[in-house]
Amino acid sequence: MLPTELVDLMNKLGVFPCVLGTTDKEGNMHMTFITWVYPKSEKILRFALSSGSKSAKNIQETKRACFMFFSPGRALTCYGDAQMIIERIEEVKFPVSVFEMHIDKVEDNLFPGATITGIIPFAHTGDLEKMAELDSIVLKVMRSA
Ligand SMILES: Cc1cc2nc3c(=O)[nH]c(=O)nc-3n(C[C@H](O)[C@H](O)[C@H](O)COP(=O)(O)O)c2cc1C
Q: Is 122's C-beta closer than 6 angstroms to any atom of ligand 1?
A: yes
Q: Is 33's C-beta closer than 6 angstroms to any atom of ligand 1?
A: yes
For atom 17 of ligand 1, the residue with the nearest CA is 33
Low-confidence ranges of the chain (pLDDT < 70): none
Q: What's residue 92's pLDDT? A: 97
Question: pTM value?
Answer: 0.97
4-144: what fold?
Pnp Oxidase; Chain A (2.30.110)
Query: Would you list the domain boundaries of the chain?
Result: 4-144
Q: What's residue 106's pLDDT? A: 98
Measured in Å, residue 141 CA sits from the centre of ligand 1 at: 18
Amino acid at 10: M
Rounded CA separation 95/90 (Å): 8
Q: Is 35's C-beta closer than 6 angstroms to any atom of ligand 1?
A: yes
Output DSSP code: residue 121.
Answer: P
Q: What's residue 89's pLDDT? A: 98
pLDDT digit string (tens) for 24-37?
999 999 999 999 99
19, 22, 32, 37: residue to mutate for ligand 1 pocket, most atoms within 8 A of CB: 32
Measured in Å, residue 17 CA sits from the centre of ligand 1 at: 10
Rounded CA separation 52/77 (Å): 25
Amino acid at 145: A
Q: What's residue 82's pLDDT? A: 98
Q: What's residue 110's pLDDT? A: 96
Q: Are 75 and 109 in contact (CB under 8 A)?
A: yes
Rounded CA separation 98/76 (Å): 22
